[in-house]
Structure 1
Amino acid sequence: MFQGTGSDVGKSLIVAGLARALTTRGLSVRPFKPQNMSNNAAVTCDGGEIGRAQALQARAARVAPSVHMNPVLLKPQSEIGAQIVVQGRVHGTARAAEYQAIKPTLMPAVLESFARLKAEADVVLVEGAGSASEINLRAGDIANMGFARAADVPVVLIGDIDRGGVIASLVGTKAVLPPDDAAMIRGFLVNRFRGDPALFASGMAEIARRTGWEECGLIPYLSDAARLPAEDALGLSGPRPEKPGARIRIAVPILPRIANFDDLDPLDAEPSVEVVRVRPGQALPGDAALVILPGSKSTIADLADFRSQGWDIDLAAHVRRGGRVLGLCGGYQMLGRSIADPDGIEGPPGRVDGLGLIEVETVLAGAKRLVAVTGATADGVPFSAYEMHMGVTEGPGRARAFARIDGEGDEGAASADGLVCGTYAHGLFADDRQRAAWLARLGAGTSAVAYEAGVEAALDALAAHLERHVRIDRLLAIASV
């Protein structure tokens, strides 16, 4: 099990890289994360949803993603509450304090899923959540030491030297953990090192001396890792490389409850495209060729935030100038005439006016739709994507469908002039055919990227990097493989 001294220390990518490295060695590998908190989710082949990081790890292991790879997924709907997904299905919602009482009841499902993966693999790579040193959350824990103890899984602790204080964070974790928990940790890794490794040799030795844990590797910073999807919204705040050759700008308002933001990654990879993430307090840029309203875990609340920033006024001006707008999932719902939540699925029951740019109305009701789809947009360009949403959207705008789904029929809607459209399909831009069509439509020329091939190449590069800098044979020995 790989736990961290904090969030965003690189646990997810290290597990993905090791999954690819061990799979290349000929081992059967499965990724596992007992509990994840993320609105970046993926649809599994068994008809559920898991954190997108675990789907990437499954891809690295060259296996299909399963709900058992992430049996508990928390999807924040507000600052204090989240939807609880258990083994791929919505289990309920809870405030943070309420969840502390609920989480011990979820351990049986977590252990059941772990046992399933153990039975079908040579090695299971387990990823912890947040920080191993959150002793205030230790009671009933299912994400870190609580799981490690219950499943009797040895732990390797990861620290991030790039953020500073890595010696203190690793040694301090040992200091605050109860002795029985600390005894589960067998080794440590230091991630994102820059410079001459010889200069930190004494630091590695001091960590080992003070903790009694085995040194398992000093991992240099790898720029190729930026080509892989980030696990959570922290990835939205990092610096973006400049693109002097960019021909068009695509603006994306960053809403507090943004979901499935990896829809943007393939556009980021295009040298001719500058994706501008518009933060609160900023205006939507007037020179954007396209504005994308992304998915949301709480559409009505995010729509209120959208209006509070004045972005509704900016968007109306963008449309008057002849600019294009694409709404994805929750963003599609916002573009309609109204959104109703009669049962209080996402918050207090009620109904609000939408942005009124497409003649549709949405009612948040019914079962959650989780499915992979194929089809073609109205201009005949094919795509593969997935849907992950609650709610039914109907109205005159549906007569101008965004796409046609194979075996199902029309999907999505558009405005009368076709400049504003919405769809429930996530992952559109990961399909090279669909992305190329959008770039041509926006005047950015042809696509210069084979996106999925690039992800595979990045996983291979990450695996090779870890083979060079991590004592993988020692990790296997610790795991008794």
Structure 2
Amino acid sequence: MGALMLQGTGSDVGKSVLVAGLCRALANRGLSVRPFKPQNMSNNAAVTEDGGEIGRAQALQAIACRVPPHTDMNPVLLKPQADRTSQLIVHGKVRGTLGSGNFRAARGALLDEVLASYRRLRSACDLVVVEGAGSPAEINLRAGDIANMGFARAAGVPVVLVGDIDRGGVIAAIVGTRAVIAPDDAAMIRGFIINKFRGDPALFEDGYRAIQDRAGWRGYGVVPWLAATVRLPSEDAVVLDRSARPRGGRHIVACPILPRISNFDDLDPLKLEPEVELVMVPPGTPIPGDAALVVLPGSKATIADLAFLGAQGWDIDILAHRRRGGMILGLCGGYQMLGRSVADPLGIEGPPGTVEGLGLLDVATRLSPAKMLRTASGTALGAPVHGYEMHMGETDGPDAAQPFALLDETGADGAISADGRVIGTYLHGLLASPDLRGVLLQRFGAIGSGRDHAADVDAALDEIALELERHLDIDALLTLAMTAEPIAP
């Protein structure tokens, strides 16, 4: 049939959720749909069935389409690992590191590979729903762009611009985008969507008409604030400080927000638990002294985040928590931090060297250039577990003789301290397994709900799809998608 691209007036305007919702709405209509994001920048990633990694948002969008995630859905992924460098992932595999000096040239050279992925997806389904990145109004990034108008024009895909009314200034954001982008880019935009509206849409009718008159684009609808969005995995760390508000649960689970935190959606299933209060601890704030469990999350740069943890005084908080008999769970990079040391002899994360860890597990880590990417299942703490591995490095030592998990294909994973209060594992996604989550909660006196996180996410996608059917002109969007240029033979 065709393709449609949603771009935004800025970051965090809700593009990812709208694409997921549209994918589910169209799949519910019986269409074969695929998500696509030419270039993503995120440390929240997922492992695909074809053995690579893509942005977490595209994995969620694949779930919305009811298809397995594939590397073609996000051919270029940038994973920030320092202030000015990012790991470059192409078609799911590490291809090197990009710095501020070579970013634009390297990015522009990837357009052919992006288009190849798009064509493969397009030939395998009825409709491709494409998500842009950031905003086309960032005209300083236009040269070599493959994420927004550079892709849209090369692929001939019509664009609908998404504006976030909740942050204010949506009229200026949409009309201003029209004013600053080049005429040939503006010609690709065929309409707009107002997102995150609270209250009576009738109050915005004059503003809606003003946008149509001033920008010359038609509106495709006003989407209300979608309550079900909070039950979906978040992709961007910018939302962490508001992702988990205290609810009065009897047992606090605290997680420090590290600068290069990754795969923090590992903790989302804890939001299902009424007896748990998930506290994401921002910099400058101590880890709560009454926490039952402290989670050290994944990190894209273990050594740098370990140093940051110490600079914040969080290492002192964690050691005090341990002395009080509290539990500690380290996930991937967090697992590496719990050991005696982290060695980086090849300078993968920065200057070669070895740093001391927290010393709470009798293990040591050696970073290596080979990246482990695989799905995994088995048992952990006596309960079934399903998840995935995504890490660079190997960890071993005496505490690994008491592993956290026994995986079906690879055997032992992780380590547990002699008293069972400190746990480390390379397994992401483990808390989504309801039986294992219940066993873990029991260790600090909480009773698990047994709720199925995957089923909860799926139900949320259906709720969002229904809202989009009510508030968007999806028939007109389908007609627009038909104007996409035919794919090359």
- Range of TM-score over shorter length: over 0.9
How many residue pairs match? The answer is: 479
1:277 aligns with 2:280: yes
* Aligned counterpart, 2:38: 34
| Equivalent residues of 2:361, 2:422 under 8 A apart | yes
Please tell me the residue identity of whatever aligns with 2:219. Answer: E
* Aligned match of 1:339: 342
The offset of 1:448, in angstroms, is 5.1
Counterpart of 2:440 (choices 438, 441, 448) is 438
Q: 1:356 aligns with which of 338, 354, 359?
A: 359
User: 1:415 maps to what in 2?
Assistant: 417
Shift of 1:80: 1.4
Q: Which runs of 5+ in 2 are unaligned?
A: 484-489
Distance 1:215 1:253 in 2: 42
**How far is the alpha carbon of 1:155 from its aligned partner?**
0.2
Are 1:149 and 2:153 matched, yes or no? Answer: yes
**Aligned: 1:402 with 2:404:** yes
- The code of the aligned residue for 1:143 comes to A
Distance 1:434 1:99 in 2: 42
Residue 125 of structure 1 aligns to a residue whose secondary structure is strand
Q: Is the 8 A contact 1:193 1:219 kept in 2?
A: yes
Counterpart residue type for residue 476 of structure 2: R
Deviation at 1:450, TM superposition (A): 2.3
d(CA) in 2 for partners of 1:120 and 1:426? 30
1:320 paired to 2:332: no
1:77 maps to 2:81: yes
Output the CA distance in 1 between the equivalents of 2:461 and 2:172.
31
SS at match of 1:305: helix
Offset of 1:240 from its aligned partner? 3.5
Matched, 1:49 2:53: yes
How far is the alpha carbon of 1:313 from its aligned partner? 1.1
Q: Offset at 1:239? A: 5.6
SS at match of 1:199: helix
Aligned to 2:174: 170
Q: 2:144 aligns with which of 136, 140, 143?
A: 140
Which moves more between the two structures, 75-84 or 30-39?
Answer: 75-84
Contact 2:434 2:450 (8 Å CA) reproduced: no
Q: CA contact under 8 A between 1:35 and 1:73: conserved in structure 2?
A: yes
Deviations 1:394-427 (A, max 9, x none): 1111111111111321111122222111000000
In structure 2, give the amino acid aligned to 1:439.
L
Q: Distance in 2 between matches of 1:155 and 1:278?
A: 38
TM-score (norm 2): 0.97
How far apart, in 2, do the equivalents of 1:346 and 1:62 lie?
36
Separation in structure 2 between the aligned mates of residue 271 and residue 13 of structure 1, nearest angstrom:
25
The 8 Å contact of residues 245 and 279 in structure 2, kept in 1 or not, is answered as no
**Partners of 1:435 and 1:416 in 2: how far apart?**
21
- The answer to whether the Cα contact below 8 Å between 1:296 and 1:302 also exists between their aligned partners in 2 is yes
1:271: how far off?
1.4
**1:384 aligned to 379, 383, 386, which one?**
386
CA distance in 1, matches of 2:256, 2:126: 44
State whether residues 271 and 448 of structure 1, in contact with CA within 8 Å, keep that contact through their aligned partners in structure 2: no
Over 4 Å off, 4+ runs: none
CA distance in 1, matches of 2:160, 2:74: 19
1:176-191 counterparts in 2 under 5 A?
A: 176-191=180-195
User: C-alpha displacement at 1:243, in angstroms?
Assistant: 1.5
Scaled by the length of structure 1, the TM-score of the pair is: 0.98
| Structure 1 contact 387–425 (Cα < 8 Å) conserved | yes
Structure 2 equivalent of residue 2 of structure 1: 6
SS of the equivalent of 2:406 reads strand
Name 1:127's counterpart in structure 2: 131
1:290-309, aligned counterparts within 5 Å? 290-309=293-312
Question: 2: CA distance between counterparts of 1:388 and 1:234?
Answer: 22
Paired residue for 2:368? 365
Task: Say if 1:296 and 1:329, in contact at 8 Å, map to a contact too.
Answer: yes
The CA distance in 2 between the partners of 1:76 and 1:240, in whole Å, is: 24
Q: Which residue of 1 aligns with 2:260?
A: 257
Identity %: 62
Amino acid at match of 1:453: A
Does the Cα contact within 8 Å between 1:243 and 1:272 map onto a contact in 2? no
| 2:468 pairs with 1:463 | no
> Separation in 2 of the partners of 1:146 and 1:407?
42
